[in-house]
With several copies, the nearest count.
Chain A
């Protein structure tokens, strides 16, 4: 394993410092924590929208800090959720008195730590905390026999929409309502061509032969739900998108936002090849692409692969998606 790092155990710390030094006017780090917040937090008279989770998904989470999106982002170790005490500090640092919405990706570690953090924060101050749990990954069956669907790339859209609603000055329950609307209407499915290599382990998390890929992966280097033979980009796109459509079953003529998300190690050129097929599938089925995002939004370190996300829109969501945002990783004008 070769990585542009110093000590593996220092990666998160040094990355956060490097991020702040790239955006000194926009971001700051809470002392002695792995929490970054908007420099102007708490923003007065505004509901705060915060998130967090393991590191290794950059630009998620701190890349989405800024006007129109997140107020705070708590970073855990690589692929490990942040600890409850730091999440609690973040909540308190971002609260302007109007309450805080935690955007949590469904996975037990994050959920448990955010819950504990909410309790801590409410004990220590009188902040009002609400929470939404994103579970857009359609690879995993949502049944009694699993811990539910994972939260993956669709989370970015929750940040965007909830952040816009908060930016408009709306109340906590309204911000939560639109976040849940996104959660109800978004679905994602991903594939890995290669495993990622974590700094600590220094080796691939799983082995994939030259002619194999994993379908239905999460974002933590876990293997997916199925190992299949390597296919063409068009075939892969079909497999991913069909599953997403099955879940959402948008009606003909529906307006949607699509994301082709890179897992970190895949060149942008390949993501555009996938987008080409995705958009031709949209046309065939008579869905209207209102906006198409292509890039690295929610990654797994250096993994090669991608995910396809579809969000079914209504007028309110379109308005909120078009609301200005100015963050290191996403700008909407």
Chain B
């Protein structure tokens, strides 16, 4: 049943899907406070579909699998999160064409971040998923390229960085996404999209550790 790499992608997807199901209400509660109370439902619907699709793809190489993750998110999630996560998985998947290595995973992460920023036009500090993705990607890249850490170790650092990004969203004012409509009232609330990013990064790390 496929290579270790294929298995790893499938395992990560399953883990993310489980996590989104578990955290559905939590994410929706965060989105209630400063958005429209659907981020949990959106992510759960999206990754349930991704999990189904990916389970059926027996022989696809990892880049195909990840591309499917993206396409499925685009066509199942809707909202802001759909094109942001979906489009980024789709585009970045091309970096995994020669397999998942330390280098290719760094390239993947960089393109992913770039694509999110492109689509959403959100700078760091706008209180969006960009605030969680940016530190995670920067830290991962530096850990691999400068500190010569192994991917699993780098992922552990990335989780930690991502978490700080999530925490950073709480005390700042939103200037992008629905929360921006609230103006100063958005201060004091954690961003739901940043939080779902953390769940994804955590799940990938857990899969890598196994």
A contact residues vs B (CB 8 Å cutoff): 9, 54, 76-86, 107-109, 112-113, 116, 139-141, 144-147, 150, 198, 200-201, 205-206, 218, 220-223, 225
Contact = CB atoms under 8 A, between A and B. Distances in A.
B175 A109 contact: no
6 closest A-B pairs (Cβ-Cβ)? Answer: A220-B36, A109-B80, A112-B83, A80-B79, A109-B79, A80-B78
A322 to B, nearest CB: 34
A147 B36 CA distance: 16
B175 A201 contact: no
A79 B175 CA distance: 20
B180 interface: yes
Interface string B170-204: 00010111101111010000000000000000000
Interface string B43-82: 0010000000000000000000000000000111111111
A262 to B, nearest CB: 19
Contacts of B152: none
B26 to A, nearest CB: 12
A188 B42 CA distance: 29
26 contacts: A77-B42, A77-B79, A80-B79, A82-B78, A83-B74, A84-B75, A107-B178, A108-B176, A109-B82, A109-B83, A112-B84, A113-B83, A116-B74, A116-B83, A145-B180, A146-B183, A201-B37, A206-B32, A218-B181, A220-B35, A220-B36, A222-B36, A222-B181, A222-B182, A225-B182, A225-B183
B143 interface: no
Contact of B76 (A54, A79, A83): A83
A116 B181 contact: no
B87 interface: yes
Given A109-B81, A222-B181, 14 more contacts: A78-B38, A80-B78, A108-B120, A112-B119, A140-B181, A145-B180, A147-B180, A200-B28, A205-B36, A205-B37, A218-B181, A222-B35, A222-B36, A225-B183
Contacts of A201: 28, 32, 37-38, 41
A198 B180 contact: no
Contact of B78 (A81, A144, A218): A81
Interface of B: 28, 32-38, 41-42, 45, 74-84, 87, 119-120, 173, 175-178, 180-183, 185
B32 A109 contact: no
Contacts of A107: 178
Nearest to B71: A85
Contacts of B34: 222-223
A109 B178 CA distance: 9
Contact of A223 (B80, B120, B185): B185
A144 B45 CA distance: 33
Contact of A84 (B32, B74, B185): B74
A113 B75 CA distance: 10
A118 to B, nearest CB: 12
A139 B181 CA distance: 8
A140 B182 CA distance: 8
Contacts of B33: 206
Nearest to A88: B75
B91 to A, nearest CB: 12
